[in-house]
Structure 1
Amino acid sequence: KIFAYTKNDNGLEINLERETDEGAVYIHTSRPGVSQLQGPQHEKRIDAKYLDVSNTERAYRLESYRSKGTVSSSSSTQLRTYFVRQCSFVNPTPTKEQESDIRETSDKSFLEKATENTLEIYSDVMKTALARTGPVIEMFEVEGSRERRLVIAYKQQTTQSFFSAISDLYHYYDLYSTRKSRSTHFLNRLGSEYTSLVNILDSSNSNHQDVLSKMKKRLRTDTFTRDYILEIIKTYPELVKLLYINFAMIHYVNPAVNSLTPTLSYQRLRTDTVLTDEELYDKIRRTTSNSHELMVFESFLIFNKHVLKTNFYQPTKVALSFRMDPSFLPEIEYPTKLFGMFLVIGSEFRGFHLRFRDVARGGIRIIRSRNREAYSINLRSLFDENYALAATQQRKNKDIPEGGSKGTILLDVNQQDKALVAFEKYVDAILDLLILGETPGIKERIVDLYKKPEILFFGPDEGTADYMDWASAHARERGASFWKAFTTGKSQSLGGIPHDTYGMTTRSVHQYVLGIYRKLGLKEENVAKLQTGGPDGDLGSNEIKISKDKTCGIVDGSGVLYDSEGIDRTELARLAENRLMISNFDISKLSPKGFRVLVDEVNVKLPSGEIIDDGLSFRNNFHLNPMVKTEVFVPCGGRPESVDLQNVGRLLDADNHPRFKYIVEGANLFFTQEARLRLERAGAVVFKDASANKGGVTSSSLEVQTIIERNAQLEFEALWREHQRTKTPRSILSDDLSLAIVKLNENLQQTSLWDNLALRKVVLEEAFPNMLLKQVGLETLMKRVPENYVRAIFGSYLASRFVYKYGTEPSQFAFFEFISPYSLKAQQ
């Protein structure tokens, strides 16, 4: 269509559009160097409909041109055209050797038009992009003109809205293009009223604690929604600019260090007004019109003050990463202080990495969302879930030198199939902050306010078990000296021991199950069990492999499998060996009472005659269903807080007796603490996650199966003995035990015991794995391993052995009695 109108300026507007699945043509009037905030927004549409979704089966190429002349003699407006076409490749399925040959991988029409010089430039950039995680950007001068040519290459589906965003960027610098071709976080604040209520209510009353927990969630999610925050931000663009300048003046590296000519960005920053923190806060206070608006903009200022380093100004970043000083977190919400906090934001995800000590260890978890509602819930609870997981990990790590950490990667609602891409960007963005940049134009030095070297240790968790090799290899490619230790659970070829292959976490969990049977005189083969987390997962598959019980129910991502007569163990073993979901179970091997209900099924009739309307809802709540009649429940998978004080009553019968007599929590945070205590009061034997599933992280630190089983047995015996003695719920004893070990460990590292070299050697000979002692020797280990790490091994070993033996309330002579055998041996 061509529209001519004469409202105020007698301007001529041209707007022609034609869209199909195979391509599109857009022609419209355009003022050079200006981003249109209203109107058709063709470039954003091209991104969304063609470029962002382009893949190997259906890819698109784009050409765009600007007219040299104007649309009329009385107008400065020019004509802009876009031509989008589906690619027709020379070789749609190139081999590994051919993928770097531009003549094999290009579109046929592109090859017909491209000059040899263009092919050479594109080929060099493409090869560099294949070898790099992030984008490649090259700039060439056009001889005899003021024009510059940008050539940008990035891997398919590793970014979004790039085409339109780069236009906005160069418009900001008053530039325009003549040709183009293409072959928040949540703000939470509880307030003083919540603090007052905490002081009034009884902390030992589980009902009071559950009310507080629910109130906290409501206060933190209902007060500020994402849309509300965005609306406030859009209202005050001048404040956003001032806050950005405040951020940039700290973290934008002074280019005079590496170049004689300051960049245009740096020159512009120097011309803008720079306010002090106090002046900026005063400006925010005077500009905003209510307390909510003030709080939103104050949070930006708090963010700026607590960023210790960032890759924001790295030329080749694939995601944004920020190393934060976590001291701004309110103690009432986060009582245990974090040591380190990373925020990572990519086009497919957002995530955190939290740790409680300088040297800390924990897994990286992928969080998926089945629909938009689930995503909103996951987004609101992301940081809290990460904090709770890291805190649990801190308690689990009591037997090893490292403290607890955890990483989370929440996939955006429309990016649920991009787990590997998100993980790679998450890792690379964090490495930007751990490795000193030494390559100008690619990885440059950053402003580091932390001013200390940092090393993080990543491990496998939900959705990332298969990615550990890549992360370790990528750290090596990036030049990280710590690449071998960077990830655990990697393959043997890279020096690791795969957790799932050897069932490291399961070995710890199962020792608690066997301990219950041993104490109560039960025969494993006769005990009926329910298991969440199926044969496709690490914990679930290994639980099937090493157990001998009568498994009656399994719940996994695909649905529910249940047979009160016991599920055929040979068929279960087949699924576990091949890591297949229960959707692959041969249902002919079920008894007449058995059934399988998959999540996408509706109106399924069970053998009892009951009709299941919705398979997904049935799966999500099956562990609460009274039809489940087993003695043991072992959660090996499932979302955190699947059982809380609101629904725990469904695990009790009419006489208030627990439907599951014995619960060993393999999955992290499956039960809330309030739910555990309610079940224990009703008579259930409950061993919580921080005690039961520490085998994986023990393996990550010490890489030995025997130590895993021994530590599990020691803690089980200590918890059983202390419960018999004090009648304190095991769920509380587990925390008390962990905290006692962690505190004693920190104290021991600072005592004169460490200075006694002979005593130190005696303890370390017990603490180090035998294989290392045989292969390397104690003296070599003490020289090679950093002293702070050896000190942590010394402290954690003595602390855990002492507390396991003497409990959390030892006599005043207990430690003397405990250390005496070590001292005598040291004197010999």
Structure 2
Amino acid sequence: MNQLSSRLGRNISLLYCIPQNKFQNLFAAGRLRLQETIYGHCAWVFVQHFLNRLGSEYASLVSALDSNNSAHAEILSNVKRRLRTETFTSAYILEIMGQYPDLIRSLYSSFAETHFHGRISSEESSPTTPVGVLGDKSLKDLISRTVNNEHEQLVMDAFRTFNNSVLKTNFFTLTKVALSFRLDPSFLPAIEYPQPLFGIFLVISSEARGFHLRFRDISRGGVRIVKSRNRDAFSINARRMFDENYGLANTQQTKNKDIPEGGSMGAILLDPQQQDKGSVAFEKYIDSIIDLLLPPVTPGIKDPIVDLYGKQEILFMGPDDNTTELVDWATEHARKRGAPWWKSFFTGKSPKLGGIPHDHYGMTTISIREYVSGIYRKLKLEPATVRKMQTGGPDGDLGSNEILLSNEKYTSIVDSAGVLVDPNGINREELLRLAKERVMISEFDISKLSKDGYRILVEETDATLPTAEVVANGMTFRNTFHLRRTGLTDVFVPCGGRPESIDLLSCSKLIENGKSLIRYIVEGADLFITQDAKLRLEQAGCILFKDASANKGGATSSSLEVLASLSFDDAGFLKHMCVGKDGVAPAFYKAYVKEVQEMIKCNARLEFEAIWRENAQTGVARSVLSETLGIAITKLDGELRNMGLWYNEPLRRSVLRDALPKLLLDKIGLESIIDRVPDSYLRAIFGSYLASRFVYEFGTLTSPSAFFDL
């Protein structure tokens, strides 16, 4: 009876997670058992994303191009996207799988033997089918003998890749809301993914599928929800999902060069018919990942899992597209589930939970301003005379804070509502009003424009400018304004806009007679300009700083928020870092925010000076040096971690005293911080601080071995 009850409970649990799987017809026909069909469904999702189908053409192209050249890397990325043709659609993969239920049974048997068998009680029977358990080599031979062609073998062999890469899963726990798998990323081909990942989580629910990727054990990055307008858009999003997730995590890795966390990123792709279920999908994604991070504490409800990884894992996440309003729930949920790291699980949470909101305190903008101000300082420019264009208007985080903190002469602003232009300078007081109220330029009082100024909204047609030019379509005018040769822009600070808004083709509109029409660009918005376009603009004389350097202030703020969460015990955290119900922030919180802002300025200034110096010495483009610095810091950091320096206690304590915020040291003490903060995190602080300070001071051309000669 106990066996039957347990088996029934597990089947109900699986049905709750995936009530409609792609192999129900085989279950109805008696060809597969329930757990086998849901296993097959999960493998089908895996195969869609990881079937290696680029072929020899891509390998030849990789060998011909220099993957260390950022422009070449971008070309390879674009070609890879094109080479992933429709040959293996999700429907075609499913069709192949459906032909071989006996193979699915054998593959499931191997999966269950690893992740279930041996962990159940003696009176409970195995959930596997009566198929003999085969080893990987035998499965490979069986597939080769059974399938009819190369395509079918490629698909069914991907099942083996799935089985071999799963390090732990909640598939066999009695209670769960979604299925989660911790994957060993070593199966990813290095030719396609040259920067190796540290870990992959795959989550599959009835509403969505999701990934969480990280490049180091200690990593931090956002989690976004991806929506699709229709089924065609979903298919495109699904094909691009993993590669875009990988690219964003890699960008975060570069951005995090001088903080302890490496780069990570999470993405949740809603199924076509579940576009209104973002919150539910997010909650299931978080809960199922927590299943793999926490040891079971309630036998019969949260059962032990087979952990082939065998080490403690802590993830640090933050808000991104469509998840900003959900991070408080994630924090509270981790707390309810007894996670000791609930305080640091998510950054971007509300101040009542100890969060430091980037937008409220302008954390990202503070970093951007250091680069803009650095240019003015180096070139001895008077900011009030510099004519400025900005995309991303006064209603957004970066746009509003850039307006509030800047002191240039704004001549044009582009936002979702349209375009606002005044060659004589946009009225400062009115612009500040919009920024403080967080409203778009559609709210601007146009009576405060000069006779040469104008505003064109996206819904307008056949509008006449003061120059007598007729704007036929306001939407088109808005979308292309940043490429117009207005002669009104000295500095351009993108604070919003679509990725790749300036590419190699369109950037030619900003170059005349071999010279850039815009002298200075500080890329506040992520990926606004493609790397090859950046290089072309720099060749034409533009002084350009890219996103991974300029907008890293938010990442620094999040890192220091995590550190405070780890350093305080629960009582101290609630007292000193959580804003009360009356909305009054503790004195420590206010002071800590100011120290965070100063550390952001310091890190940005150090990197700015290093890039400026190396560009002057070598002539290497600044957008390339941004990546070169990141690679040099990451490499030296890795070497330092493998050395015995950490075990030199006087050095370790000295470095930590320099690296840790003074307020935390004064309030908590170094000994308590060392006791509370995980050793791996302290090692990351130690390595990243030493490596970044060395590279910023001595440059990328100095051999890392010189570090040990100091």
Scaled by the length of structure 1, what TM-score is found?
0.71
User: Structure 2 counterpart of 1:421, which letter?
Assistant: V
Q: 1:384 to 1:256 in 2, by over 3 A?
A: closer
For residue 402 of structure 1, report the CA deviation from its aligned partner: 1.9
User: Aligned partners of 1:748 and 1:174: how far apart in 2?
Assistant: 52
Return the alpha-carbon distance in structure 2 between the equivalents of residues 446 and 581 of structure 1. 51
Corresponding residue to 1:429 among 278, 283, 288 = 288
CA distance in 1, matches of 2:556, 2:173: 36
Q: Deviations over 1:140-198 (max 9, x none)?
A: 99xxxxxx999x99xxxx999669999997996999xxxxxxxx333343223322232
Number of the residue aligned with 2:98: 234
1:680 equivalenced with 2:538 (yes/no):
yes
Corresponding residue number in structure 2 for 1:191 = 55
Q: Give the CA deviation at 1:388.
A: 1.5
Matched, 1:274 2:133: yes
Q: Which has the higher strand share?
A: 1
Counterpart residue number, 1:260: 123
Contact 1:369 1:375 in 2 (8 A): yes
Distance across 2 between alignment mates of 1:426 and 1:568: 47
The alignment partner of 1:790 has SS state of helix
Secondary structure in structure 2 of the residue aligned to 1:398? coil
Q: Given the alignment of the two structures, is residue 594 of structure 1 paired with residue 443 of structure 2, yes or no?
A: no
Tell me the equivalent position of 2:113.
Answer: 249
Bigger shift: 587-596 or 795-804? Answer: 587-596
2:179–2:205 contact (8 Å) kept in structure 1:
yes
> What's 1:459 paired with?
318
Corresponding residue number in structure 2 for 1:477? 336
Q: 1:378 to 1:531 in 2, by over 3 A?
A: farther
Aligned to 2:660: 768
Name the CA distance, whole Å, in 2 between partners of 1:271 and 1:645: 59
Counterpart of 1:324 in structure 2 is: 183
- State the secondary structure of the residue aligned to 2:702: coil
Cα RMSD of the aligned pairs, angstroms, is 3.6
Corresponding position: 1:665 with 2:528: no
Residue 551 of structure 2: aligned partner: 693
Cα distance change, pair 603–503 in 1 and its aligned pair in 2 (3 A): same
Secondary structure at 2:557 match in 1 = helix
Q: Distance in 2 between matches of 1:280 and 1:636?
A: 53
Q: Is the CA contact (8 Å cut-off) linking 2:105 and 2:131 kept in structure 1?
A: no
Q: Could you list the per-position Cα deviations for residues 497-556 of structure 1 after superposition, in whole angstroms to 9, with x for gaps in the alignment?
A: 222221212211121111111112223233333333344433233223222333444444
Higher helix residue share:
2
1:451 partner amino acid: G
2:456–2:474: 8 Å Cα contact kept in structure 1? no
- Partners in 2 of 1:628 and 1:378 — Cα distance? 39
Structure 2: gaps spanning 5 or more residues: 35-44, 562-595
- Structure 2 CA distance for partners of 1:164 and 1:749, relative to 1, 3 Å: closer
Tell me the amino acid that sits aligned with residue 192 of structure 1. S
Aligned partner of 1:105 in structure 2 is none
Q: Bigger CA drift: 501-510 or 540-549?
A: 540-549
Match of 2:81 in 1: 217
Q: Deviations over 1:604-649 (max 9, x none)?
A: 635355344483x655544334458422222233444443334333
- Given that 1:553 and 1:561 are in contact with CA atoms closer than 8 Å, whether structure 2 keeps it comes out as yes
Does the 8 A contact of 2:17 with 2:178 survive in 1?
Answer: no
Cα 1:422–1:796 change in 2 (3 A) is same
5 Å-filtered alignment, 1:326-345, equals 326-345=185-204
SS of residue matched to 2:612 = helix
Deviation at residue 779 of structure 1 after TM alignment: 2.9
Aligned to 2:266: 407
Amino acid at match of 1:385: E
Contact 1:364/1:464 (<8 A) preserved: yes
C-alpha contact (below 8 Å) 2:549/2:626 kept by paired residues: yes
1:547 aligned residue: 406
Q: Which digits, 9 at most, give the CA deviation of each residue in 1:314-346, with x for residues without a partner?
A: 344333221110001111111111111111233
Asked whether the 8 Å contact 2:419–2:478 carries over to 1, the reply is no
Amino acid at match of 2:92: Y
1:286-305 aligned at under 5 Å gives the runs 286-305=145-164
**Structure 1 equivalent of residue 643 of structure 2:** 751
2:352 is aligned to: 493
Change in Cα spacing, 1:764 to 1:421, as seen in structure 2 (3 Å) is: same
CA distance in 1, matches of 2:17, 2:643: 52
Distance 1:165 1:590 in 2: 64
Q: Does the 8 Å CA contact 2:420/2:441 hold for their aligned counterparts?
A: no
Q: Which among 245, 248, 251 is matched to residue 386 of structure 1?
A: 245
Change over 3 Å in CA distance of 1:517–1:785 after alignment to 2:
same
Q: 1:740-763 deviations in whole A, cap 9, x for unaligned? A: 112222222343443333333322
Runs of 5+ unmatched residues, structure 1: 1-139, 142-147, 176-183, 820-828
How big is the shift at 1:271? Answer: 1.8
Query: Relative to 1, partners in 2 of residues 1:286 and 1:166: Cα closer, same or farther, differing over 3 Å?
Result: closer
The answer to which of 292-301 and 745-754 deviates more is: 745-754
Alignment partner of 2:419 out of 551, 561, 583: 561
Instruction: Note the C-alpha offset of 1:693.
Output: 1.5
* 1:775/1:290 CA distance change after superposition, 3 Å: same
Aligned residue runs from structure 1 range 296-315, under 5 A: 296-315=155-174
Structure 1 residues 463 and 627, CA gap change in structure 2 (3 angstroms): farther
Take 2:705 and 2:100, find their aligned partners in 1: how far apart are those partners? 66
Question: Pick from 587, 593, 610: which aligns with 2:470?
Answer: 610
The alpha-carbon distance between structure 1 residues 677 and 371, as it changes in their structure 2 partners (threshold 3 A), is farther
Counterparts of 2:443 and 2:27 in 1: how far apart (Å)?
Answer: 51
Deviations 1:412-471 (A, max 9, x none): 445444433332222112111111233345432222221111100012233333332221
Matches within 5 A, 1:89-168: none
In 2: Cα distance, 1:715 partner to 1:724 partner? 14
Distance 1:306 1:813 in 2: 36
Alignment of 1:59-98 (within 5 A): none
Matched, 1:647 2:506: yes
How far did 1:709 drift? Answer: 0.4
Does the Cα contact within 8 Å between 2:218 and 2:680 map onto a contact in 1?
A: no
Deviation at 1:231, TM superposition (A): 3.1
**Structure 1 residue 576: deviation in Å?**
3.6
Q: Corresponding residue for 1:145? A: none
2:630 aligned to 738, 761, 776, which one? Answer: 738
Give the conservation status (yes or no) of the 8 Å contact 1:364–1:461. yes
**Aligned residue number for residue 215 of structure 2:** 356
Q: CA deviation at 1:732?
A: 1.3
Deviations 1:564-609 (A, max 9, x none): 43444444444443444555555665556422433xx474635355
The alpha carbon displacement at 1:373 in A equals 4.8
- For 2:442 and 2:232, locate their aligned partners in 1 and report how far apart those are by CA, in whole Å: 25
- Compare relative contact order (CA 8 Å, sep 6+) and give the higher one, 1 or 2: 2
Change (3 A) 1:423 1:752: same
Letter in 1 for 2:637: N
Superposition deviation, residue 718 in structure 1:
0.8
Evaluate the alpha carbon distance shift between residue 749 and residue 203 of structure 1 in structure 2; reply closer, same or farther with a 3 A threshold.
closer
3-state SS in 2 of match to 1:506: helix
Alignment coverage as a number of residue pairs? 652
Q: What CA distance in whole angstroms lies between the structure 2 residues aligned with 1:788 and 1:163?
A: 40
State the AA in 1 paired with 2:123.
Answer: L
Q: CA deviation at 1:217?
A: 1.4
- Tell me: CA distance 1:522–1:419, structure 2 relative to 1, closer, same or farther (3 Å): farther
Q: Secondary structure at the match of 1:271?
A: coil
State how far apart, in whole Å, the 2-side matches of 1:159 and 1:588 are.
58
